[in-house]
Amino acid sequence: MYDYENLLRLKLPLNRKSTCTNKPNAYGHKLLDFCRKNNVYIINGRAGKDRFLGERTCKDLTTIDYCLCSSNLLSCVSDFEIKEYSPIFSDFHRQLHLTLNCWKASKSSDEVNLLAKNDNNRSRRWNAKKCDEFVNNLVEDDMFFELNFMIEELDSQSSPNTEIDTANINSVVDKICLLFNKTAKSTFGIIRPNIKYNNRNVHRPWFDKTCEKKRRLFHKARKSYNRFKNKANRTCLSVASRNYKSAMDTSFKQYQDKITSDLRTSSKSDTKKFWNILNRCTEKSGQSIKASIAELYNYFKEMNEVEEEVIETDVNLDGVNLEDNNEILNAPLSQTEIENVILNLHNEKASGIDNLTNEDIKYTMHIMIPLYVKLFNFIFDRGIVPEIWSVGIINPVF
């Protein structure tokens, strides 16, 4: 099947319409030649509300703004329209409005489980006043009685002849995380997204009353022009749009100057105020930079590449009893060692993807320590690390 037959299958005309009567210039011929060689089609005058119309896009005199699309993507185009001229967006060009039908790809089971562990309904921050309540809720939970069964699962694999079961150790760690998260939510409550609908200018603090007044005049002029499209209304729309744009530029410049002045003043006198201003200016509404795994890998790989000369040195092991050292290093982890490590954990630290905090571990140590001893000795002897411990949350800053 030829490529152009996809247009016939979608009932799209091969010959597109256009109200522009000007002849193509050199750039126009280059565009047509590009479309012919790459099987790309111009949507103007061929699809959506602009079908069989071919509206002009520049000064109502000519068409120089085009939307290009391959034949395979044409099936996703549900609408195409050339909007009315609005001076607030451009001095000469009209907006091209394209609507696509997209299908969201289904997530794999691993991705669904990972997202379920890192859901938005996180528990509130640790509250020391509710420490006893947290411990009581943990003990009274039905899942707490499964701890003995967890210990038996670890004991069943403690024998050297037993085959290594990675899924078993993962299930034990997942149950511990689920128990802590469930108890934290029931004790401290859940943080839900705070959605505000009325405050439009929360991320535009520079948008003052003058801008609002000019915006109302602009909308009024645009409605008048859409109702009666004559030369007088178009002139009023052009003047209102320029005034609105000028008011926003002036207000934004004044806001930037004030922020710069406040930062310089508070940088030496009031450090807390300085960082509050800086954090407020760098906040973005719902935006995040997402880097791929390959980009992060290459970034850290190049950052850690250091050319060093390898110098071979002979190590003198005379007088060192390797058998005694191996016996000390390979000795099982004791309960005292694990308790000392837990007591040295710092409070008020960010949690990982499992949502466990250091306070969860420290204040329930006397209850969970038997399981911790079994768990870490099993990991130490078999060399099995739970998969969730290998997943981290990385926010790139480059």
Task: Tell me the C-alpha to C-alpha distance, in Å, between residue 163 and each of 101, 132, 194, 348.
Answer: 51, 40, 49, 40
CB-side exposure of 176: number of CA atoms within 13 Å? 27
pLDDT digits over 25-44, tens only? 888 888 888 888 888 888 88
Contacts 24+ apart (CB under 8 A), 224-233: 225/84, 226/84
Per-residue model confidence (pLDDT) at position 254: 92
Q: What is the mean pLDDT of each run of 10 residues along the chain (398 residues)?
A: 75 83 85 85 86 82 83 83 79 83 54 47 79 86 72 65 71 85 86 58 77 91 86 87 89 90 85 81 58 76 67 62 66 90 89 87 89 85 83 67
The answer to whether the beta carbons of residues 285 and 201 sit under 8 Å apart is no
Does the pTM of the predicted model rise above 0.85? no
Domain ranges within the chain, ordered by starting residue: 5-100
Beta bridge partner(s), residue 81: 97
For 290-303, write each residue's pLDDT tens digit. Answer: 667 778 778 777 77
**DSSP letters spanning 61-100:** TB-----EEETTTGGGEEEEEEPPP-TTT-SSBPPEEEEE
The residue type at 34: F
Look up tokens 């003990």; give the residue. 139
d(CA 98, CA 86): 17
